[in-house]
């Protein structure tokens, strides 16, 4: 792998940087976990789409720029450098979109991808159920075929962005006599379908963007089935691979947090406050770990561009970035001392409150996208070849 950028890649970086500097909102948008912020972020996504940066590695006909994955990494670096808003449709563009590219029909690609890229339609993730969180093979919600429709009954919970989203993707048990990962079908569900009730769930930060979704004889056209009937597990594993291995959490996100942590350390030292030597070493280690994750991601991208696939090693990535994110925020709170308790928007908080907000979110990292305990089981069985018991 050549770690030097080509003249074309440098030109792309320069172009992206100029566009972002001219277009990133001067004032921070409200959280997309609120109704107001959700709509503000959709407007931002439309601007990205108009500029050709909504999803740079997608084909042009589906709302992308036709760039490669290396250019996507470069764009992500510039995106975080510019302090651009979070991506409200991340479940769609980073997870479901690549899956539709892989297994969707031509009609599904044309129907869903352009509206996903522009966030005209925002997607919720519908993996978890009350008794099937990280253990997705225990899914109980059913989708029984009746003519040219599936009749869906059951419940999903912890649906990310579910309170405001337009569509939900998830697995449903289409063979009621099946068990575990067999007899499941991956279905795309419009949330305005009669028989569907969405109930928001309040998070630790008091915002209600997660949701429980209840299905009561909701009829969804068969044309919204993604992949083969009864083979939803295989489709979902491809989606989870994107989630854990590459697209959901680009290295630029953690490199940006690491840079801010180093700046916080420098400001703390400059203020004359005592900083324990072990805390200084932790700051340095966090910065190095973020850089290591970036280099590993470049290696993964080179592997993919050479025709490779993401396998069980995606679980290694997921554990690494989720634990790194938690460590960086814990370290920041230690540097802040008593100021760590300030929330964003509180008097005298300034930018300091972002650390506590980020810490609360980082706590969820080892849980979402499949708990780290499940990822360690996958590593033990599929990479190390250890027995299940």
Q: How far apart are CA 35 and CA 207, in angstroms?
A: 10
Q: What pLDDT does residue 262 have? A: 97
Q: What pLDDT does residue 1 have? A: 59
Q: Pick left, alpha or beta for residue 221 (phi over 0 → left; psi -120 to 50 → alpha; otherwise beta).
A: beta
92-130: pLDDT as tens digits: 998 899 899 989 999 999 999 999 999 999 999 998 898
pTM of the model: 0.88
| Strand 196-201, strand 210-221: pairing | antiparallel
Summary count for the chain: helices (H), strands (E)? 12, 8
| Strand 167-173, strand 149-156: pairing | unpaired
Q: What pLDDT does residue 338 have? A: 87
Inter-residue contact 189 to 170 (CB < 8 Å): yes
Q: Pick left, alpha or beta for residue 64 (phi over 0 → left; psi -120 to 50 → alpha; otherwise beta).
A: beta
Q: Which residues of the chain, if any, have pLDDT below 50?
A: none
Inter-residue contact 149 to 107 (CB < 8 Å): no
Q: What pLDDT does residue 243 have? A: 65
Q: Which two tokens stand for residue 222?
A: 């068969």
Q: What pLDDT does residue 242 have? A: 66
User: Tokens 């419009």 map to which residue?
Assistant: 190
> Which residue in 45, 77, 78, 243 is the catalytic one?
243
Inter-residue contact 191 to 230 (CB < 8 Å): no
Q: What pLDDT does residue 205 have? A: 73
Q: Which two tokens stand for residue 346?
A: 């509180």
Active site residue 354: no
206-262: pLDDT as tens digits: 788 889 999 999 999 999 999 999 999 989 887 776 666 666 778 999 999 999 999
Q: How far apart are CA 361 and CA 163, in angstroms?
A: 18
Q: Which two tokens stand for residue 23?
A: 């277009």
H helices of the chain, in order, are: 7-23, 35-51, 69-81, 90, 97-103, 106-117, 232-245, 251-270, 277-305, 314-336, 353-362, 372-378
CB atoms within 10 A of CB 351: 10
Partners of 123 in the β-ladder:
167
């Amino acid at each position: 792998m050549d770690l030097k950028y080509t003249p074309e890649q440098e030109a792309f970086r320069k172009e992206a940087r100029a566009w972002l500097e001219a277009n990133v909102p001067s004032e921070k948008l409200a959280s997309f976990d609120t109704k107001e912020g959700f709509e503000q972020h959709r407007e931002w996504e439309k601007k990205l789409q108009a500029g050709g940066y909504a999803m740079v590695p997608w084909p042009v006909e589906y709302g992308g720029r036709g760039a490669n994955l290396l250019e996507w990494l470069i764009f992500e670096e510039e995106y975080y450098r510019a302090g651009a808003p979070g991506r409200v449709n991340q479940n769609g563009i980073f997870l479901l979109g690549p899956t539709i590219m892989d297994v969707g029909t031509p009609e599904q690609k044309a129907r869903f991808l352009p509206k996903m890229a522009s966030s005209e339609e925002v997607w919720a993730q519908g993996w978890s159920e009350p008794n099937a969180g990280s253990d997705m093979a225990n899914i109980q919600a059913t989708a029984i075929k009746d003519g040219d429709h599936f009749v869906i009954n059951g419940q999903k919970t912890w649906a990310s962005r579910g309170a405001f989203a337009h569509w939900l993707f998830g697995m449903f048990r289409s063979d009621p006599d099946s068990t575990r990962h067999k007899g499941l079908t991956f279905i795309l569900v419009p949330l305005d379908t009669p028989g569907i009730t969405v109930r928001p769930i309040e998070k630790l930060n008091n915002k209600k963007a997660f949701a429980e979704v209840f299905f009561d004889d909701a009829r969804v056209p068969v044309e919204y089935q993604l992949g083969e009937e009864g083979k939803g597990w295989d489709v979902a594993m491809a989606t989870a691979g994107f989630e854990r291995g590459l697209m959901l959490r680009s290295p630029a996100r953690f490199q940006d947090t690491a840079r801010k942590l180093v700046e916080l350390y420098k400001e703390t030292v400059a203020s004359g406050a005592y900083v324990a030597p072990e805390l200084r070493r932790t700051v340095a280690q966090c910065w190095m770990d973020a850089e290591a994750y970036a280099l590993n991601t470049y290696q993964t991208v080179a592997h993919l561009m050479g025709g490779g696939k993401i396998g069980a090693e995606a679980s290694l990535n997921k554990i690494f970035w989720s634990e790194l994110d938690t460590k960086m925020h814990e370290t920041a709170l230690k540097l802040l001392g008593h100021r760590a308790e300030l929330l964003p928007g509180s008097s005298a908080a300034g930018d300091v409150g972002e650390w506590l907000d980020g810490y609360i979110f980082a706590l969820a990292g080892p849980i979402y996208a499949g708990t780290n305990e499940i990822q360690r089981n996958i590593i033990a069985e599929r990479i190390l070849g250890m027995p299940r018991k």
